[in-house]
């Protein structure tokens, strides 16, 4: 599964992406179809299909902290930003490697669609 997974292939450098940050736990890159001036996807290096399959608190914590650091660096931390994890069909998950969207740089509505 991990062999063919799109985000595993980006993590391994087999598919190009606009890298934004990386550490031993996770990797962040620009979304190919950005929904806001800042739209970054933060993914764990280790393959896990969705939040439903996560077994430790650290995985999601690392994603959130990396997103926070990127938000600061992009100058959107004070103005505000949104972090989203879509899980399965009703949420619109299309890539089944856990990822956290960091979206900001414009005002956003609530509730989301």
The contact set with ligand AMP (CB under 6 A) reads 6, 15, 17, 29, 31-33, 41, 86, 92-95
**Between 83 and 112, how does the x/- string for binding to Zn ion read (CB under 5 A)?**
--------------x---------------
Residue nearest to Zn ion (CB): 5
Residue 31, binding choice from Zn ion, ligand AMP, none, Cβ under 5 to 8 Å by partner class: ligand AMP
Residue with the two structure tokens 């608190």: 57
User: Smaller CB distance to Zn ion: residue 25 or 82?
Assistant: 25
- 6/48 with CB nearer ligand AMP: 6
**Nearest-angstrom CA–CA distance, 17 and 29:** 6
Q: What's the order of all strands across the beta sheet hosting 26-30?
A: 19-22, 26-30, 38-44, 100-104, 81-84
Map tokens 């509505």 to a residue: 109
Q: Which of 28, 51, 46 is nearest to 103 (CA)?
A: 28
């Amino acid at each position: 599964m991990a062999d063919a997974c799109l985000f595993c292939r980006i993590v391994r450098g087999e598919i190009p992406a606009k890298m934004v940050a990386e550490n031993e736990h996770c990797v962040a890159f620009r979304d190919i179809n950005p929904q806001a001036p800042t739209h970054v996807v933060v993914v764990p290096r280790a393959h896990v299909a969705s939040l439903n399959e996560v077994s430790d608190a650290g995985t999601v914590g690392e994603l959130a902290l990396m997103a926070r650091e990127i938000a600061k660096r992009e100058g959107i931390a004070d103005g505000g930003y949104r972090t989203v994890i879509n899980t399965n069909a009703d949420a619109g998950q299309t890539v089944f490697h856990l990822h956290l969207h960091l979206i900001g740089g414009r005002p956003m509505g609530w509730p989301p669609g």
